[in-house]
Every structure is written in structure tokens, then in C-alpha cells.
Amino acid sequence: MHMKAWIFDDTRALITSSNTDWKSLSQVKEMGVAVEGPPGFLVVQDLQLYFDRWWRWTSEEVSDSFPEPRRRIFDPYLQLARRVPCFSAAGTQTLDARGPTCANPMASSGGTAYNLESPMPLVLNGTKGLTLLTCSPPEVCDTPRDAYSQFAAPLPGRTWDGNAVIQTLLTAQTHINLTVMDFLPSAMYDSCKGAWWPALNDAILAKLAQGVQVRLLISRWAHTFDHMADYLNALDKTAQAVVDGAPVKGGSFEIRMFELPGWQNATDRPGAPYPSFSRVNHAKYIVTDHRFNVGTSNMEWSYYHNTAGTSFNSDHPLLRKQLAAAFARDWSSDYAKRLEPSSTRGSTAGRARQSLDSPSPPAELAV
């Protein structure tokens, strides 16, 4: 359960990257969306539907309904076998995997009317926009299957968060600004560790070929994953090649690493000036010329497939303007530093090490 969402009565809602603890609220940089409206505010109602679905997930009625908790499928995207809940529709498009072995226990709970194809109206301070709230992993969505809409027909019900992130990138016309703690084209955890997952990279490269300007602001802190800088450097090289050869000129690509002062001294060491798992930009959002996505998930395969999450997606001009200003401030700050080429970094300099074989939970969960 990595989602961070609050509902207050039927008038207010908050979706944020911030965990609810002292460190997150004082030593970690976060981003969230808070909205308030009249009783019955649509955003609040829709978030309540999603909360109720997770609440049902924890019930004995659901847990006792599984003849077998998990089944093994072949994932055609990752090209490997992995385990999914027994009611998951993942992998059924291949000959290597049989279909679900139990009924979907979420089918009887309320689905949403709002998704990428049909976003809800959002009126804030007299200004109109459209919005939708997403679901993750696919098995808790109204349709328990992952599908990127640029490759397949959109699924009915609530949009999967992985699809919403990709569509936010693909609908950009002039620029994309993205900030996140972890950005990797692979899986970091569990049995899929190291699997290649190019969905985000592919979307970004496709937009660069169309002349879009892309800026990525990625966190560097005491628990940055060991190979992330290598992946980012590889993406940078590929992106520059795409820009140079693109038939549509005007595109550009740049990566900067955001470092909060004191990040090297945020450890468990006695007398350390900052607590461990702090001094990091933990925000996760994308803002473009057209829309934005403020989410609770890091941009890596595991968060979209194995972790509870959501995101607030909208084209509302007032919110988009605020988010764009926040990104511009951070991008031009002294804390944003150009990505160093891999050859100029030492074996550990500029990137703290965390073993991917560690049996402990993801470091991000402890922030």
C-alpha cells in the first residue's frame, strides 16, 4: 500500500506523494493536489469509490474467496514469467498462459464512470477543466488488466495509472517537464528484478521525434539505485540521436539531478545531522503544455504493477499553471545539476549504493 490519499467528508480530497510522518513533512520535498468543493464534489466521490475498493480488498470475504491466491503467467511485454492474483487477466493474450482461475472479487464493488476516454468535469475558482483519478495495480482497476491505450483499445472503467502516465507524455505538443525520485526502464524488486520495461523511454523518444522539448528532473539522494545514472545516461545518448535525426526540428532533451543539501549526511550513523531516508525530492509529477499528472508512484515497473497507487490527472489551467511554476523554480535552482556522463563518475561517487538483492522493503517506502 503505497498510495497516499485523504478524503474529508464529501467536500475535500488530497492526493499527494507525501507519507504521513514527521520526516516526510519536514525533511522530504513533496507534491500533492488538494481540492475542495460543495457537498457531493465529483472528485471526492470518485476518490471515495477507489478507497472503498481497497477497503473491500482487505475484507475476509475477499481473501477467503480465492481458491489459490496467485497464478503464474507469461508476461509478453517483459518476456518472462511472473505471478499475478488468480483473477488477473494479465497474460491471457498469449498461448503460454491460461485465463483467470477465480472470479474477480472487485466486480461487485462500484466502478467509475470517469477515465481517459471520459474525464469528469472539474470547476475550480470559476475555471473549467477535466480530470480523472487512476488505479494501480491493474488488478484493482475496474478491468483487471494492464493495457497501454496506444497499443490496444482503452479498457472500460477506471484508467490504470501506468496508462495515464504514458498518455500524459504522448499528448504533449510542445514540451514535457517531469520530476520524480526514481526513473528506471526496468523492474527493481521481486522476481522480475532487472526486467526491461521501456514504456516511459519509448513515449519520451517518440515525442522528441515530433519536435517536443523534454526536461527530466530526477532525485539523487543517499538511496539512489545503483544503475539509475547508467540508464539515464543511455537515455540521454539515445535522445540526442533522436533529436539530431528527427524530421521535425525544435526538440530538445536534458536531464538534471536534484540534490537537497545534506543528502550525503542523512544516515543512521550516530550524530548524523539528518535522519536516514530523508533529504530527497520525493515528488512525482509530469506537467506539459496540455495536461499534468501528479501521482503517488515512482516511475518504475514495480510501482505500476505490484503496488497500490493513484494519480490526479487534469488539464485544468489553474492547477497546471501552478505545477509548471513549481517545476520551473526547481529546474533553475542551485539544487538542480546536469547529469554527469557515466565515464566521469567514480565507482560510488555521485550515487549511493543500495543492493537490489536486499531482502528489506523498498527504500522509498520508508521515507
pLDDT digits (tens, 9 = 90+) for 136-195: 999 999 999 998 988 888 899 999 999 999 999 999 999 999 999 999 999 987 779 889
Residues 318 and 297 in one domain: yes
Number of helices (H) and strands (E), helices first, in the chain?
A: 8, 16
Q: How many domains does the chain have?
A: 2
Q: Is 223 exposed, middle or buried (0-12, 13-18, 19+ CB in 10 A)?
A: buried
DSSP structural state of residue 80: E
Among left, alpha and beta (phi > 0; psi -120 to 50; other), residue 285 is beta
Residue 54: inside a domain, yes or no? yes
Side chain identity at 32, as an amino acid letter? G
Residue 74: inside a domain, yes or no? yes
Residues 180 and 162 in one domain: yes
What is the average per-residue pLDDT within 223-241? 95
pLDDT at 284 > cutoff 70? yes
Pair 254, 215: CB distance under 8 Å: yes
What per-residue confidence (pLDDT) applies to 347? 38
pLDDT at 336 > cutoff 60? yes
Residue 108: inside a domain, yes or no? no
What is the average per-residue pLDDT within 28-43? 96
Asked which of 102, 130, 157 is the last residue of a domain, the reply is 102
pLDDT at 288 > cutoff 50? yes
Strand, coil or helix: 298: coil
Residue 21: inside a domain, yes or no? yes
Tell me which long-range contacts 22-30 makes (C-beta under 8 A, separation of at least 24). 23/275, 23/277, 23/278, 23/367, 24/282, 24/367, 27/266, 27/274, 27/275, 27/278, 27/279, 28/278, 28/279, 28/280, 28/281, 28/282, 28/367, 29/260, 29/280, 29/281, 29/282, 29/283, 30/282, 30/283
Side chain identity at 139, as an amino acid letter? E
What is the average per-residue pLDDT within 208-236? 96
Alpha helices in 148-262 (DSSP H): 161-170, 199-208, 228-245
What per-residue confidence (pLDDT) applies to 365? 32
Between 81 and 312, where is the model more confident? 312
For the ranges 3-12, 105-114, 129-138, 294-303, the lowest mean pLDDT is seen at 105-114
What per-residue confidence (pLDDT) applies to 358? 32
Residues 75 and 181 in one domain: no
Instruction: Say how many CA atoms lie within 13 Å of 158 toward its Cβ.
Output: 31
Residues 98 and 180 in one domain: no
Residue 110: inside a domain, yes or no? no
Pair 200, 347: CB distance under 8 Å: no
Residues 51 and 84 in one domain: no
Residues 75 and 59 in one domain: no
Residues 149 and 96 in one domain: no
Share of the chain above pLDDT 90, in %: 71
Residue 274: inside a domain, yes or no? yes
pLDDT bracket for residue 120 (50, 70, 90): very high
Residues 207 and 288 in one domain: yes
What per-residue confidence (pLDDT) applies to 130? 98
Residue 225: inside a domain, yes or no? yes
Residues 287 and 353 in one domain: yes
| Placement of cell 494519480 in the chain | 311
For the ranges 111-115, 144-148, 248-252, 324-328, the lowest mean pLDDT is seen at 144-148
Side chain identity at 264, as an amino acid letter? Q
Residue 201: inside a domain, yes or no? yes
Q: At what angle do helices 199-208 and 228-245 cross, to 10 degrees?
A: 30
Residues 249 and 197 in one domain: yes
Average pLDDT taken over every residue of the chain: 90
pLDDT bracket for residue 95 (50, 70, 90): low
What per-residue confidence (pLDDT) applies to 189? 78
Between 182 and 71, where is the model more confident? 182
Residues 28 and 81 in one domain: no
What per-residue confidence (pLDDT) applies to 164? 98
Going by C-alpha positions, the residue among 117, 112, 77 that lies closest to residue 97 is: 77
Going by C-alpha positions, the residue among 124, 140, 121 that lies closest to residue 132 is: 121
Q: What is the span of the domain harbouring residue 188?
A: 5-65+115-366
Return the CATH number at 315.
3.30.870.10
Going by C-alpha positions, the residue among 161, 41, 175, 122 that lies closest to residue 316 is: 122
Question: What is the Cα Rg of the chain in Å?
Answer: 20
What per-residue confidence (pLDDT) applies to 68? 76
pLDDT at 298 > cutoff 60? yes
Q: How far is CA 238 from CA 62, 66, 177, 253, 273, in A?
A: 46, 45, 18, 10, 40
Residues 303 and 203 in one domain: yes
